[in-house]
Amino acid sequence: MTMPLMTTTLLPPTKPITVAADYAALCDLVAARIAALVREKPGAVLGLATGSTPLGVYDRLVSAAQDDGLDFSGVTCFNLDEYFPMASESPHSYHHFMQKNLFRRIRCRRWFVPDGAPRSEAEVAQSCWEYEAAIREVGGIDLQLLGIGRSGHIGFNEPGSPPDSRTRLVTLHAMTLADAAGSFGGLENVPSQAVSMGIGTILEAREILLMASGTGKAQIVRAAWTEEPTLALPASWVRTHSNARLYLDTAAAQDLDAAAQAFS
Q: For the chain, which residues make up each domain, given as ranges?
A: 51-67+81-247
Beta strands 81-84 and 193-196 are antiparallel
Query: Cβ neighbours of residue 88 under 8 Å, at least 6 residues apart?
Result: 95, 96, 113, 115, 116, 117
Contact assessment for residue 54 and residue 211, using Cβ atoms and an 8 Å cutoff: yes
**Single-letter amino acid code for the residue at 251:** A
Q: Is the pLDDT of residue 264 over 80?
A: no
Lowest mean pLDDT among 19-23, 59-63, 165-169, 225-229: 225-229
User: Picking from 5-14, 31-40, 175-184, 227-236, which range would have the lowest pLDDT averaged per residue?
Assistant: 5-14
- How open is the CA angle 85-189-156, to the nearest 5 degrees? 55
Q: What is the pLDDT of residue 9?
A: 40
Percent of the chain past pLDDT 90, that is, above it, reads 89
pLDDT of amino acid 78: 98
pLDDT of residue 261: 34
Summarised one tens digit per residue, pLDDT across range 138-147 is: 999 999 999 9
User: What CATH class does 51-67+81-247 carry?
Assistant: alpha beta
Residue 48 CA neighbour count, 13 Å, CB half: 32
